[in-house]
Chain A
């Protein structure tokens, strides 16, 4: 099956990817040959032991672009945040839609454009950014992403510039008789002391089948500061394979929050590399699964310089037959003295058929460090339930409230109110008995 799928993607590549400028052609071809060599990951590989990608290999997704499949569905407008002034870039089935995008005035020197356009207008910036992230084709999905590299975003903020208005990247997929796949590459570059807020927002028509394969590369210069939110509310029948690569120079600070609520099979890989002294990263995450959803979060945090700090907190709520995987690895490299890393992964299992596989890992090659991780799996605290019940809250409501509070701990840290409110509504939608607590939490 893997071999057939492999040949299918190679053929699809030949069908849809035109010969292009020399350097890009070379990059795509070498990624394609890496893909042929690596193939798709299987459960015998340590990083994929809990996630079986065969459902993806069984299906034949095709690239969008044929006439008629690039129209927005009715749900698209709802993805804009009412009450949030933002630069919006819209993508339908992986293709940039200029008509639906709304870009406000940008500070001098800032580039915010689709990658397809950037390849023509700003090839040097694209090239520079890609050169900063070598080896992004280690596994089959990432290699494919590079081989198909065409669509996505280039967001370049020069040194010293603060982009006050958040950038909202909207990725919408819709239902097609032949399911579509979108290959997306987002390049985000912050110069020295630059500052930015980016929202990556993925969703699709309810019950539509499609695949999203996205790689986001974030490069933060000295003293730069980035707030990055990835909201994944894809359709329950979709496949979402994502990789985020973050590189941080001296004193660069990145906060990245990943919310995974949708998708049938979801894989999120986040790699943060603290290259410069004093760099700091905070990774937060929330995953909620019901039905037969499978959500796999893998994070790698590399402390490569002294005095680097990382914080990581992932929470999961699993119901029905859902399964979640968390694999968080913190690597403190030699010479990265005074590294400070804290990691936590907490899970609530609401059903006997749900499953969680968690693996918080530490790999430490320096001695003067403070590293800790913790993982918990359990149910609601009996004492808290008792507290609520003793105040005349019935059992179902109390339970529901506590689950909501558990999940909301991640969401409530998001600084932008319109995002918070939408996520809270989405969380309520995924909880059992949420009708009971609406009056308390909204």
Chain B
């Protein structure tokens, strides 16, 4: 048994494998934030007047707000004037029309990350809209998607080509004034993904975007908007990695999902931003607002996230269950190590009748990390027969880390049924002993147990991501089953 702490240590001390810097010249705006910078971003992106106004309104509101302090995270004050708000790879000017035209160094970057950009065309599995810093550089399978009537591309393209859709839905789930970081994002967002699934359409493939922060000192502010019309279905995958940098970098994204009658959106994330080194130096501040609006009857929004990176994660993917019979789901694995801090969870706002929500959250904390689950389940008076099931479990590895649970449950309807369960424990000596006395090494045993702990969430991930998630945890799913 003496080898156990050692094995655990090894397991949690994996170094960041994606830490490299791609050396391509970028077109970066000098640091600082003011109305001129916003006008400049808007002008560079050739945006219509209403969008500029929208950004400026958000900016002016942001100036009146104060940075939230309620999260269970600690970090030095962010100097918003020291951040550069726009960074685009130079090669964008020609606009690559196929993969061949894309800067080979970029492709190399993706190859290192294991993104199957090239292969995907052959395997015909996933369409990738890769966001490199702030501008979309390559989009595949557009033709096939277009056939189905699906619009999938960068946010900038959508602003140019489908301004009426963007205008109708932008900010309708996360208003520009929603919170401090959402307001900042609304003012300065540069790019992101846009996805529109027309009526009664099942998106023919899983959609995927990889975000990656590259240039030093550039915040990344993406904006994602997904609209699923009546009776449609889409599965969307988002993966994030960032190279190793010493300074803390800010990442404040906004994701808005809209599901109309009977539409289903499945949104999966594997977040592996640079978490800082063993001493807590550097790393990404990941302050994200994600919200889905089940606007229609019988609609469904499902969030699945595997959060392994970032120095600080501040993220609450939420569902507003407005439509009757709508369903919200949240499956999360959050792993923190060294000096990482995560304050993450979900909000399920039940408004419609017979709305149902499920929350499964697994937190793993190691080293000096702090891992918090913070969630809200609110049953409005109108939500007859609402149902919620919440389970949040924490696993502790090491005696200097922390695991915390802050669930808020507010009920205003007597027909609602809610259950909330939470447990915190470490890997039991008896569990390890059981495995080891059957000839399984300590490390494998730990892997197995961690995997089993997360299994409920992994099984919700699309296959491609499940594989990546396994790699990120350094464990194999199969072992847990056997």
Contacts and interface: CB of A to CB of B under 8 A. Distances in A.
Nearest to B379: A377
Contact of B414 (A50, A349, A361): A349
B397 A374 contact: no
A370 B424 CA distance: 6
A367 B401 contact: yes
Interface string A334-376: 1101000000000101111011111111111111111111111
Given A350-B414, A354-B414, A379-B414, A374 B421 contact: yes
B412 to A, nearest CB: 5
A55 interface: no
Nearest to B418: A377
B407 A359 contact: yes
A177 interface: no
A366 B396 CA distance: 8
A46 interface: yes
A352 B421 contact: no
A351 B414 contact: yes
Given A357-B409, A361-B407, A372-B421, A334 B416 contact: no
A17 B397 CA distance: 54
B440 interface: no
- Residue of A364, A365, A370, A371 with highest tally of chain B CB at under 10 A: A364
A78 interface: no
Interface residues of B, number: 35
Given A352-B381, A358-B409, A372 B414 contact: no
A375 B402 CA distance: 22
Interface string B397-419: 11111111111111111111111
A360 B404 contact: no
A357 B411 contact: yes
A48 B429 CA distance: 41
Interface string B380-406: 010000000000001011111111111
Contacts of B414: 349-352, 354, 379
A319 to B, nearest CB: 9
Nearest to A325: B410
Given A367-B398, A367-B399, A362 B409 contact: no
Contact of B404 (A334, A350, A362): A362
A352 B423 CA distance: 31
A312 to B, nearest CB: 13
B404 A363 contact: yes
A374 B411 contact: no
A378 interface: yes
Interface string B171-190: 00000000000000000000
A363 to B, nearest CB: 5
Contacts of A334: 399-400
A379 B402 CA distance: 35
A355 B416 CA distance: 11
B382 to A, nearest CB: 10
A334 B401 CA distance: 9
A306 B399 CA distance: 13
Contacts of A374: 419-422
A363 B424 CA distance: 10
Nearest to A377: B418
A369 B409 contact: no
A362 B418 contact: no
Given A46-B70, A352-B381, A368-B426, A360 B420 contact: yes
A364 B394 contact: yes
B160 interface: no
B425 interface: yes
B410 A362 contact: no
B403 A368 contact: no
B399 A360 contact: no
A371 B417 CA distance: 24
Contacts of B406: 359, 361
A378 B396 contact: no
Main secondary structure of the interface of B (DSSP, over half): strand
Main secondary structure of the interface of A (DSSP, over half): strand
Given A349-B411, A357-B410, A362 B422 contact: yes
A365 B420 contact: no
- Residue of A358, A362, A376, A379 with highest tally of chain B CB at under 10 A: A362
A337 B426 CA distance: 11
A369 B424 contact: yes
B320 to A, nearest CB: 19
A378 B397 contact: no
A251 B424 CA distance: 24
A361 B405 contact: yes
Contact of A378 (B400, B418, B421): B418
B407 A349 contact: no
A365 B402 contact: yes
A89 to B, nearest CB: 39
- Residue of A46, A351, A369, A379 with highest tally of chain B CB at under 10 A: A369
A197 B397 CA distance: 41
Given A355-B412, A364-B394, A377-B411, A371 B399 contact: no
Nearest to A365: B402
Contacts of A359: 406-409
Interface in A373-390: 373-379
Contact of B424 (A350, A355, A371): A371
Interface string A187-217: 0000000000000000000000000000000
A337 B399 contact: yes
A358 B377 CA distance: 10
A317 B407 CA distance: 21
A371 B404 contact: no
B409 A370 contact: no
Contacts of A377: 379, 409, 411, 416-418
Contacts of B381: 352
A379 B384 CA distance: 12
Contacts of A50: 410
B424 A360 contact: no
Nearest to B378: A357
Interface string B51-72: 0000000000000000000100
Contact of B422 (A365, A367, A373): A373
A379 B423 contact: no
B402 to A, nearest CB: 5
Interface string B216-245: 000000000000000000000000000000
A436 B442 CA distance: 62
A75 B335 CA distance: 60
A441 to B, nearest CB: 23
Interface in B433-452: none
A360 B406 CA distance: 7
Contacts of B401: 365, 367
A155 B458 CA distance: 57
Contacts of B421: 372-374
B24 to A, nearest CB: 44
A216 B394 CA distance: 34
A373 B405 contact: yes
Contacts of B408: 357, 359
A177 B171 CA distance: 56
A367 B404 contact: no
A373 B404 CA distance: 12
A356 B396 CA distance: 31
A368 B399 contact: yes
A366 B399 contact: yes
A362 to B, nearest CB: 4
Given A46-B70, A349-B414, A369-B396, A364 B403 contact: yes
20 contacts: A50-B410, A349-B411, A352-B414, A355-B411, A356-B409, A357-B411, A358-B409, A360-B422, A364-B394, A364-B402, A364-B404, A367-B398, A367-B399, A368-B396, A371-B423, A372-B423, A373-B420, A375-B418, A375-B419, A376-B419
The 5 A-B pairs with the shortest beta carbon distances in the complex, nearest first, are A367-B396, A349-B414, A375-B420, A378-B417, A377-B418
Given A351-B414, A372-B424, A375-B419, 15 more contacts: A352-B415, A354-B412, A356-B411, A358-B411, A361-B405, A362-B403, A364-B394, A364-B403, A364-B424, A367-B401, A369-B425, A377-B418, A378-B416, A378-B417, A379-B414
